[in-house]
Amino acid sequence: MKNKNFNNEMITKELLSIIQNWIKFIKNERLLSLNTRKAYESDINQFMFFVFHYKEKVVSLDIIDNLSIRDFRSWLSALKNQQKIFSSTTQARHRASLRSFYTYSLKNNFLKNTNLFNLRSIKLKNKLPRPLSSNEVINVINMSEGKNSWVGIRDKALFTMIYATGMRINEILQLNIVDVEKSEVIRVTGKGEKVREIPLIKSAKIAIEEWLKIAPQNSHDDPLFIGVRGKRLSARQVQKTMENIRNNLSLPKSATPHALRHSFATHLLEEGVDLRTLQELLGHSNLSTTQGYTAITIDRMNKVHRKAHPRK
């Protein structure tokens, strides 16, 4: 339990043991990613810290089993007061963490309290960035090659791969040369340690081949994409490169490396790819996440319809 404001003496040993088992559960059975697990654990620490001061006593299983809906509202208010920016997304994450813990405890008969689930739900805005058009994507890829060194060839291969495969930045940056050499598909380990296979289309294979011809790496086990100091390229470096490109092309701030992934998904949907296939390609655990892209395509279709229809 790591939190600068929290220590294990604030809760009973019984409750601590349940929390530790819950952490193992979300790792081994729910297969949540490391970053998500850390966030969930931090959220639970903050919750226990709140209850400790709110009730002015060591937190026991009995105490959290008797919290009222008013107590949970006080917890959310305390979070809002502690944080300068408490967005609906952040609140939703805190709620999800606590719901996960309470759901686990209910199923294992540690708790009976369901008041948390009676909190009024919050509406989250669609955070998907505007997808780039096909021409905008081509312009981004062409401009990425503008540097007069191997860095330009590297960036062209990188941005081509994001758009051609729909992979997340961190997924691509974890690849080694051996993962793509003479391969028709890439095996990707995504969020929640979920493994999927993505086919390499011709444009991606050509871009990779051009890159590997001049790449400074010496071994097949070296990172596929490296920085000028020879270490694995970081996501922040990719984001800075994209910032420069979008400024030169006068693209909106929503034109990020991740927007290329959204463009991949949107363009495939517009070409008739079914949601289940797209779900597998993107590595989404839930189909509902993939369905978010349909709103974008429908919105664009409606705009085209209104603009083109003779009766307007």
Helix (H, G, I), strand (E, B) or coil at 189: strand
The active-site residue out of 156, 246, 261, 262 is 261
Please give the structure tokens belonging to residue 291.
Answer: 């369905």
The active-site residue out of 102, 104, 163, 293 is 293
Is 54 among the catalytic positions?
no
The active-site residue out of 30, 191, 232, 300 is 191
Is 53 among the catalytic positions?
no
Q: How far apart are CA 104 and CA 114, in angstroms?
A: 12
Is 293 among the catalytic positions?
yes
Please give the structure tokens belonging to residue 140.
Answer: 């981004």
Backbone Cα Rg of the chain: 24
The active-site residue out of 30, 55, 130, 258 is 258
Please give the structure tokens belonging to residue 76.
Answer: 């959310």
Helix (H, G, I), strand (E, B) or coil at 149: coil
Is 127 among the catalytic positions?
no
The active-site residue out of 95, 196, 267, 284 is 284
Q: Which residues contact 129 (CB under 8 A, 6 or more apart)?
A: 254, 255, 256, 258, 259, 262
Is 102 among the catalytic positions?
no
**Alpha-carbon torsion 160, 164, 166, 172, what sign?**
negative
The active-site residue out of 94, 154, 156, 168 is 168
Burial class (CB in 10 A: 0-12, 13-18, 19+), 158: buried
Nearest to 75 by CA among 99, 51, 100: 51
Is 258 among the catalytic positions?
yes
Which residues are part of the catalytic machinery? 168, 191, 258, 261, 284, 293
